[in-house]
Amino acid sequence: MWKTIKRIIFIVLILNVLFIVWGRFFNPPITITQIGGFFEYGKLHRDYISYDEMGNNVKKAVIASEDQKFFVHDGFDYKAIEKAMKNNEKGKKLRGGSTISQQTAKNVFLWQGRSWIRKGLEAVYTFIIEKTWSKDIILERYLNSIEMGQGVFGIEAAAQYYFGKPSKDLTISEAAWIAAVLPNPKKYDPKNPSAYLRKKHNWIMRQMRNVSLK
């Protein structure tokens, strides 16, 4: 019995290592979140593109919105985590503090949710991809896999869905609209923005001036 358990653990570890190595060179064939989106909305709009094909505006917009320290941290924003923990103590909810690297680990390897088990696994995968992938690869995987609407995944599909153009041709304003739906793309819609979304859109455009892609 114990030999069988050890064999299963070994196989799982090997498969994880192979998947991480695979992810260094290729986008994921499909993710758990994408499968969930397909069953929930009956569609899966997704179009993987390379880092160079994405254009700078959408990269800057998402970094401005989600993780302005992306290129300087080691995968974790400890000040943001500390702030999130204080909020959790007050509201007793797991909220915020996730970097783009952490979100990439979650989107590519794991599932959505707020359990401590998932957060623990997310931390492990984040540490590993920060050591084995480059920042450009992490950002590419993130921008290709992130949920951007109901059944819409990745910035290329989002650019086509919301504005009918490739992501590399998005204006600063259009890129900021796409980034503004994060982290709740099922709730917010750039085609019908709320007052809050308009405010966030304007804030992102201002923050984009301070974002460098290195």
Extract the tokens encoding 15. Answer: 């498969």
> Domains (ranges, CATH) in the chain?
2-208 (1.10.3810.10)
> How far, in Å, CA of 176 to CA of 42, rounded?
27
Q: Cite the beta strand spans of 43-98 per DSSP E.
A: 45-46
- Give per-residue pLDDT as tens, 78-131: 777 666 666 666 555 544 568 999 999 999 998 887 788 888 889 999 999 999
- Give per-residue pLDDT as tens, 17-30: 777 888 888 899 99
Q: Cite the beta strand spans of the chain per DSSP E.
A: 45-46, 147-149, 152-153
Sign of CA dihedral 99, 31, 141, 208: negative
Please report which helix (H) or strand (E) contains residue 148, including its range. Answer: strand 147-149
